[in-house]
Amino acid sequence: MSTVTEIMPTYGRLPVSFARGQGACLYDADGNRYLDALAGIAVVGLGHAHPAVTQAIQRQAETLLHTSNLYEIPLQEQLARRLCEISGMENAFFANSGAEANEAALKIARRYGNERGIENPQVIAMDGSFHGRTMATLTATGNRKVHAGFEPLLGGFLRAPYNDVPRVANIAENNNGVVAIFVEPVLGEGGVQIPADDYLLKLREICDDHDWLLILDEVQTGNGRTGRYFAYQHANILPDALTTAKGLGNGVPIGVCLARGPAAETLVAGTHGSTFGGNPLVCAAALAVISELTDGGVIERAAELGKRIINALAKNLDGLNHVRDVRGKGMMIAVELENPCTDLIQKALSKRLLLNVTTDNVLRLLPPLNLTDDEADEIVDIVTSLVREAGS
């Protein structure tokens, strides 16, 4: 057991630490190799110690780390332009994490409402969602465990079940104060729940009919994770704003809120800010990440690899009574079991595989997007034996 007492115990940590990483592998101080099927929770999409990202960080560290947003930052402008080209958005606000990117998006929604004379603007957020740990984002989060002990929560949120269009349509009929829908394209922490193919399209239509903003939380699903740069690109729609963070810096802390149309005109001088947000170091890293993702065929490869892993797991686990579902989109992959299976985290660790369990009974894989075929097969083999053993 760990005896660390100087760290606030907000995490139950596994008794292992890593000295270095290379690609999809981590090594402890004794040189033991672990296969990383979690990638720092969907952060290290290009794998550990990726040479192009390392070089971008090294060069920028030798040149200029930080100047503040009181001055122009050419690298930030370049990164904003690149993200807008990819997303179809018009401008960007840079923050340092997913929660902070979401704070910017929620502030956009409120200001959008207040500017239109809506006295008590409401944002619809979904059951089972996860949006972060700040007061606004934990309030938006559809999970009582995240709320517990932090009351009073913020006002201004309405709830709907995930993947339930009629309930949102019903709210639309009965509420005048709604200004936005805030939703993940795939629930990440909420158990890798994949909605109906037309879910975002239907939400888009409701937003259009009522002048609401459609705001997507792509903190986890963005940056190639689901096999497209952004997950909404599977659905042929454009949101009014979106956030992303985790995979954008491949380990360097960066978050961004992108917007278009009226949502892009809302945060003007003096209404929002960040000391660190979008500094030269993180922007140089993110630009290198985007080049690798888009020029290197990594996203297409992620789509392919995801299918390979999901199909192999579905085949290997077919017919097992204790397995409820094998599902995924790109490299966001889940095996849902009948019963709680958090013990599998430790069991996987003893087989030198890093993975995660969400919502107690969903084994979750978020590996680097550029695994080799052999690494993908190794993950499949270990997960197959873990899940088989869990049923015996």
> Which residues are near ligand PLP by CB under 6 A?
97-99, 102, 130-132, 184, 188-189, 217, 219-220, 245-246
| Of residues 125 and 290, the one with the C-beta less far from ligand PLP | 125
Assigned token pair, 202 = 């239907």
Assigned token pair, 244 = 């992303």
| Of residues 76 and 220, the one with the C-beta less far from ligand PLP | 220
| Of residues 220 and 323, the one with the C-beta less far from ligand PLP | 220
| Of residues 112 and 130, the one with the C-beta less far from ligand PLP | 130
Cβ(327)–Cβ(310) below 8 Å:
yes
Residue 190 C-beta: closest distance to ligand PLP, Å = 9
Residue 97 C-beta: closest distance to ligand PLP, Å = 4
User: H or E element: which one contains 256?
Assistant: strand 255-259
CA-based angle 113:114:120, to the nearest 5?
A: 80
Residue 354 C-beta: closest distance to ligand PLP, Å = 17
- How far apart, in whole angstroms, are the C-alpha atoms of residue 269 and residue 265? 11
Cβ(139)–Cβ(153) below 8 Å:
yes
- How far apart, in whole angstroms, are the C-alpha atoms of residue 222 and residue 199? 18
CA 254 to each of CA 19, 94, 193: distance values in angstroms, whole numbers, following the listed order: 23, 7, 25
Residue 235 C-beta: closest distance to ligand PLP, Å = 17
Residue 217 C-beta: closest distance to ligand PLP, Å = 5
| Of residues 56 and 245, the one with the C-beta less far from ligand PLP | 245
| Of residues 67 and 275, the one with the C-beta less far from ligand PLP | 275
Cβ(223)–Cβ(243) below 8 Å:
no
Residue nearest to ligand PLP (CB): 98
| Of residues 245 and 354, the one with the C-beta less far from ligand PLP | 245
Residue 98 C-beta: closest distance to ligand PLP, Å = 2
Residue 1 C-beta: closest distance to ligand PLP, Å = 26
Residue 269 C-beta: closest distance to ligand PLP, Å = 25
**Taking Cα atoms as reference points, which of 321, 353, 313, 315 lies closest to residue 337?**
321
Cβ(185)–Cβ(236) below 8 Å:
no
Assigned token pair, 151 = 């009351």
- How far apart, in whole angstroms, are the C-alpha atoms of residue 118 and residue 159? 19
Distance of CA 2 to the CA centre of its chain: 29
Taken in order 187, 192, 193, 194, is the CA torsion positive or negative?
A: positive
| Of residues 25 and 101, the one with the C-beta less far from ligand PLP | 101
